Structure 1
């Protein structure tokens, strides 16, 4: 999740204060429903979060988590500096101000 412009500014200043470093944000974007479903099934199968739930309960819980997350999610903006965006497990890569 993008921390938002204000938080990213604070983090950027903090990193720069400790030497000659700069931030590169990395954002993974996946809107391929098949990939999302596969990842959800894998998460439900192997994550300890869902160990005590049935597969249906776990998928429902994970779907609700994703929905909540998507309501507050902010994609990285050009104004936040250098970033790399990976789309659908790297089927497409976008960059901004990466040298």
Structure 2
């Protein structure tokens, strides 16, 4: 699997754990089987940036529903965009 895919998978895992979601909750919210989600998070499934952003947004909604905390969507989107930008800059340098 390519390095960029592994890095995107790691960003997804970091966001899931930051939102205190289990893999089961993340998979269910994304409409995926647990096994498929686990492959994705391990970097064993090809993932595009748009799929990654959609998945993070879905996890964010589940977090809000689970905790009742409302997050600043604009700030959260900026955080996602910054993480993706940093990832690709690191990949370009390597």
**Structure index of larger Rg:** 1
Do they fold alike, i.e. is TM over 0.5?
Answer: no
Structure with the largest fraction of strand: 1
Please give the TM-score of this superposition, normalised by the length of structure 2.
0.34
Structure with the largest fraction of helix: 2
Please give the TM-score of this superposition, normalised by the length of structure 1.
0.33
